[in-house]
Structure 1
Amino acid sequence: MGIKIVCKNKKAYHEYEILDTYEAGMVLSGPEVKSLRGGRGNLVDGHVAINARGEAMLYNVHISHYMFTSHNPVEPLRVRKLLLHKRELHKLNGKLKEKGLALIPLKIYFIENGKAKIELGLAKGKKMYDKRATLKEQQGKRELARVMRRG
């Protein structure tokens, strides 16, 4: 079966330089899991912060409410707790205090046993000229691949 990717944050690779990645579990309600299985999630404006109690919290990630639920729907933009090892939390907390680093969600996926996981990226914001250089490099690779296909 493998991994089923639910949603990706494509904008993150354009806006940020990803330095390191981490995998975390998420504390979700039942209807949120069902909604994610249907592919109804959005990571674009999401970010992660570590609160005063040392817990990683996920902000601004939109998970639409499940339309077939019978009880009160959950707020789509609610703050969600992330499950990381204590040593990872301490390491991330130290790195997040550095200037210019942020922890952003890259993708949400389900692993083989049905648990939802989120891939987080320790990122540094790109400047405008970095974005232009990246686009130019990608266009060059595309052009080279096109020429190689022709023969």
Structure 2
Amino acid sequence: MSNFAEQSKDLQVVVFSLDNQLFGLDITLVSEIIRLEKITPIPNAPDYVEGIINIRGNVIPVISLHSLFNINTEGWNENSRVIIAETGDLKFGIIVESVYEVRKISQEAVRPAPAAVIAGQEYIQGIILDGDDLIVLIELDKLVSGQDLQEVKSIL
């Protein structure tokens, strides 16, 4: 029984990069990871909404963390991916420069984010220290407001 209790403390985190910085997202919130395809822009959408994509007949809004975190981007390339994530009844894509792996991280490795250091602090669940790597763990529920995505859906 104690073995199960120890395992339940571990997080499975999808590790990806933006501007050579590592970020992570709890894998239980990820439904799939796809290659970056054509994104159709939406007029009057919030700045961080890149547009929409069609996945097997489903129209999914795609957001850019670059806009939310004030991170520079040099454009997208063959390594760029879209992480399809779900929280509550919201499903959306997140453009990332590349996806590296899924890592098992112990809960003890997650530290609170330093208050003055990170832009987009409200979107950060914590900082993961994993060996020499520093991974910013994203809080998906706070990443986009349901109201913003509902507005995007209403435009469609």
Is the pair's TM-score, using the shorter chain for normalization, greater than 0.5? no
Greater RCO structure (CA 8 Å; 6+ sep): 1
User: Where is the helix percentage greater, Structure 1 or Structure 2?
Assistant: 1
